[in-house]
A and B are shown apart, each in its own frame.
Chain A
Amino acid sequence: MLAFALKTLFCDRSKALAGSLGVAFSLILMSIQGGLYLGLMQKASVLIDYCRADLWVGQRFVDNVDLARGIPEIWLNRLRGVPGVADVRPYLVGKGTATLDGGRMEDVWIIGVDVETGAGGPWRFAQGSMADLRRPFGISFDTVDRVKLGEPKLGEWMEVNGLRARVVAQTDGITGFITMPYLFTNFNEAQRLARSPEGECSYLLIRAEPNCDLDQLRDVLQRRVPHAAVFKPEEFAARSQEYWMKRTGIGISFGASTLLGLLVGLTVVAQSLYALALDHLEEYAALKALGADDGHVIRIIAAQSLTIAGCGSCLGLLCVAAIRALWHNPLAPVEIPLWLMAAAVVTVFAICLLASLLPFWRIRRIDPATVLMG
């Protein structure tokens, strides 16, 4: 039956091609939409993902890394010396307003990092380095925010929250979910620029001893600072992402456009298979007269639709791979992991099987008597 299914499918290449293109389109759309979504979500937790801390200690009700709340820096002493803790460093995520040429204002994040260990520091420099951030008044800006910040140059002065700061480094593609520029600096400078109260920081970043059980350590630390929240990085990242997902409904809009892509794919495949079946109604009638039952028919159509799914998937995956390799935009990163591609392939296969119900329904209605009775 496979020969009948496939040869019938490929004797009309235009329909096979149309179906495959529909599948490829669905698959590409799903991967890109999913990839954009994941990219955006990753931006919501970018500070956490690259910070290399083993545990995060923050204010009890903090639910987003960017929207930090103050905690006493002094808690540091409660955590140092706990067995399993190798190091604790304060980290500041503060808000500021940069005043640009001509009096234009731009809201910015001021990120105070520990320059000694580099904890929480920027991870991609276009110019300058972590060492430059030690310099008094020294701040970095990011390539993607160049225009927003009035094209600053290294060595120039900037006004942040009415205080002077000096551009000493340029990071490369570090941007968050709401795309407010991240200005990195050393912890003390950040406290000054953000005008944060004396003795307050946003987070304490814990580095654990090697081979230490992080779950256990988290519980121990949590007991030490009951008024704080202790997170593993992946927990805090998920929490930060969820915050934006719930607040913005972004999941719904991505989901809706993905669904639309699926529907288009479904329609194209169903239409191609249906047209193919219509072209061969007489042959199906003959097949039924020869004794084919619903099971045979469904196997034939399923073979055809899975073949279309396979061809379309190959085509689509090639395009997705090309996009993955060629697309670089830190503002709209496309993050397409292998599991996403696999999920997209599985989905288009399911869609194709679903689409085969339409021709099946048509062929089911054929009366084999028509072969004899005309």
Chain B
Amino acid sequence: MDDVITVTNLCKSYAVGVTRSMVLRDVSFSVKRGECLFLVGHSGSGKTTLLSILGCVLSADSGAVEMLGERVTEFSPAEQASFRRHRIGFVFQRYHLFEALNALENVKVPLDLLGAEPAKARRRALELLARVDLADKARRRVTQLSMGQRQRVAIARALAADPDIVLADEPTASLDKTAGWNALETLKTLCREEGKTAIVVTHDDRILPLADRVLTLADGGLMEEPGGDEPPSSAPVKLKSPRRKSIAEGEAGES
């Protein structure tokens, strides 16, 4: 399988007063197409910084990031925006849904940004909402949805424009165990079905079993951990409803 993301000797520091604090030091790694990579590390280790650079919203000091064959570290702001629009889907920690809009309209936003034909955009958005189990809530304003439902809307939105890469920063941080698991499982299933590469930043040990691979950031560098149960290519994760149910039961059993 080919590498979708290649990071080489990436460095990033922030100005703190007169000095600079180094957050990423010579970080190098690569991600394969279809992989679901988890990025963990203690608070302040630079996970969000790294994800922001991958998401083309933050520039690195040095080093190179190549995504889908393009050297994104050399992009102009306009090229970055275009790349985000076409290639990247985001799931944010606090969802950042558009409060005046209903679920359907929220999911449509990335398609609208691409200038998609309204009817097609609607069909795609409805289809995604159905796949995150929110078909019946399509016309609800997002402020009238539960946190878990909102995150599922955000996941549907991240996939709407058919991006190659989905980036999620602590997507389960505001959710309880079940909702967090369900949301992430949904994300993983969708990415798997649509052949997307996903990078998930998390603090949440409970969802680590969903990872294909786990990278740990510490002291500005990376360590690889034996993360998920199965390697990505060997067997597709079976994440249909029955499995989800069994996990929920498992939780109940544990507690």
- Chain A interface residues (CB < 8 Å from chain B): 1, 3-4, 7-8, 10-11, 282-283, 285-293, 296, 367-369, 371-373
Contacts and interface: CB of A to CB of B under 8 A. Distances in A.
B110 A368 contact: no
B25 interface: no
B101 A290 contact: no
B204 to A, nearest CB: 17
B56 to A, nearest CB: 9
B84 A290 contact: yes
B81 A288 contact: yes
Interface string B98-129: 11110001001110110000000000000000
Nearest to A369: B57
A7 B86 contact: no
Interface stretch (B47-55, B67-75, B132-140, B175-183): B47-55
B105 A283 contact: no
A320 to B, nearest CB: 32
A1 B105 CA distance: 9
B82 interface: yes
B90 A373 contact: no
Interface residues of B, number: 30
B110 A1 contact: no
A290 B97 CA distance: 11
Interface string B35-79: 000000000000011011001011000000000000000000010
Contacts of B57: 289, 367-369, 371-372
A282 B92 CA distance: 12
B114 to A, nearest CB: 8
B109 A282 contact: no
Nearest to B105: A3
Given A4-B101, A288-B81, A372 B112 contact: no
A373 B52 contact: yes
Nearest to A292: B113
B169 interface: yes
B109 A290 contact: yes
Contacts, number: 84
Contact of A291 (B81, B98, B99): B81
Contacts of A288: 81
B10 to A, nearest CB: 16
B113 A1 contact: yes
A10 B58 CA distance: 33
A-B pairs with lowest CB-CB distance, top 10: A291-B85, A286-B96, A7-B100, A291-B84, A11-B100, A369-B57, A293-B81, A368-B57, A8-B100, A369-B58
A303 to B, nearest CB: 12
Contacts of B48: 372-373
Contacts of B82: 291, 293
Interface centre among B84, B105, B157 (most CB of A within 10 A): B84
A371 B113 contact: no
A293 B82 CA distance: 8
Interface centre among A287, A293, A296 (most CB of B within 10 A): A293
A92 B92 CA distance: 85
B101 A3 contact: yes
A367 B51 CA distance: 15
Nearest to B157: A290
Contacts of A292: 81, 85, 113
Nearest to A288: B81
A371 B100 CA distance: 18
A298 to B, nearest CB: 13
A339 B186 CA distance: 60
Contacts of B81: 288, 291-293
Interface centre among B82, B100, B105, B169 (most CB of A within 10 A): B100
B219 to A, nearest CB: 20
Interface centre among B57, B83, B105 (most CB of A within 10 A): B57
A8 B109 CA distance: 13
B55 A372 contact: yes
B212 to A, nearest CB: 22
A10 B141 CA distance: 14
A4 B98 contact: yes
A339 B95 CA distance: 50
Contacts of B157: 290
Contacts of A282: 96
A372 B84 contact: no
A215 B118 CA distance: 59
Interface in B137-156: none
Interface in B1-16: none
A218 B74 CA distance: 75
A241 B110 CA distance: 59
A9 to B, nearest CB: 8
Given A286-B92, A372-B48, A11 B113 contact: no
A142 to B, nearest CB: 60
A367 B49 CA distance: 14
B63 to A, nearest CB: 18
18 contacts: A4-B98, A7-B101, A7-B105, A8-B100, A283-B96, A286-B96, A286-B98, A288-B81, A289-B90, A290-B90, A290-B157, A292-B81, A292-B113, A293-B85, A368-B57, A369-B52, A372-B51, A373-B49
A185 B86 CA distance: 84
A10 B99 CA distance: 12
Given A8-B100, A368-B57, 6 more contacts: A3-B112, A282-B96, A283-B98, A286-B98, A289-B96, A291-B81
B92 A372 contact: yes
